[in-house]
């Protein structure tokens, strides 16, 4: 992760030791603007979505080329999968920060920092489906 990792947070510390979230988000949004042309509309939608604190309900990999992650209010289906690192233990964990970027292997790289773990998926495309389940507080 370029922006939301424990290693990069110190670059955004203020004089009093707090994280300068406005500057960090500004830098990430500038980065997203610079790669916008390389992202499909669904990848842009995922990059700009607000899944902060959404729990992971389930994960499944029906084939080598497909990965499905069910969040509280959305179902993410990744196709043209090139790499998946998602431990089964992430079910029940919550999204905190995520980044998308073009991958050197082709496709788009999604890295998600969870409350207790991290995940990474490199895929050609993502489909974002909404479902009727409501988030629990």
Would you say 49 and 128 are in contact if contact means Cβ atoms under 8 Å apart? Answer: yes
Is 109 in contact with 100 (CB distance < 8 Å)? yes
Question: pLDDT-derived band of residue 5, with 50, 70 and 90 as boundaries?
Answer: low
Determine the Cα–Cα distance for residues 67 and 74; give it in Å rounded to an integer: 14
Q: Token digits for 9?
A: 């947070």
By the 8 A CB rule, do 117 and 83 touch?
A: no
Proportion of the chain above pLDDT 70, given as a percent? 80
pLDDT, mean of residues 47-58: 90
Question: Which of 34-38, 66-70, 82-86 is predicted with the least confidence, judged by mean pLDDT?
Answer: 34-38
Residue 59 phi/psi, 5-degree rounding, is -135, 145
């Amino acid at each position: 992760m370029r922006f939301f990792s424990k290693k990069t947070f110190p670059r955004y510390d203020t004089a009093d030791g707090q994280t300068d979230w406005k500057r960090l988000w500004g830098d990430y949004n500038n980065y997203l603007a610079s790669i916008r042309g390389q992202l499909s509309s669904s990848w842009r939608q995922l990059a700009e979505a607000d899944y902060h604190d959404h729990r992971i309900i389930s994960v499944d990999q029906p084939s080598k080329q497909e990965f499905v992650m069910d969040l509280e209010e959305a179902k993410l289906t990744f196709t043209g999968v090139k790499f998946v690192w998602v431990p089964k233990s992430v079910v029940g964990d919550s999204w905190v920060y995520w980044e998308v970027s073009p991958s050197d292997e082709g496709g788009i790289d999604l890295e998600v920092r969870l409350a207790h773990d991290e995940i990474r998926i490199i895929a050609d495309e993502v489909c974002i489906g909404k479902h009727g389940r409501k988030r629990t507080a």
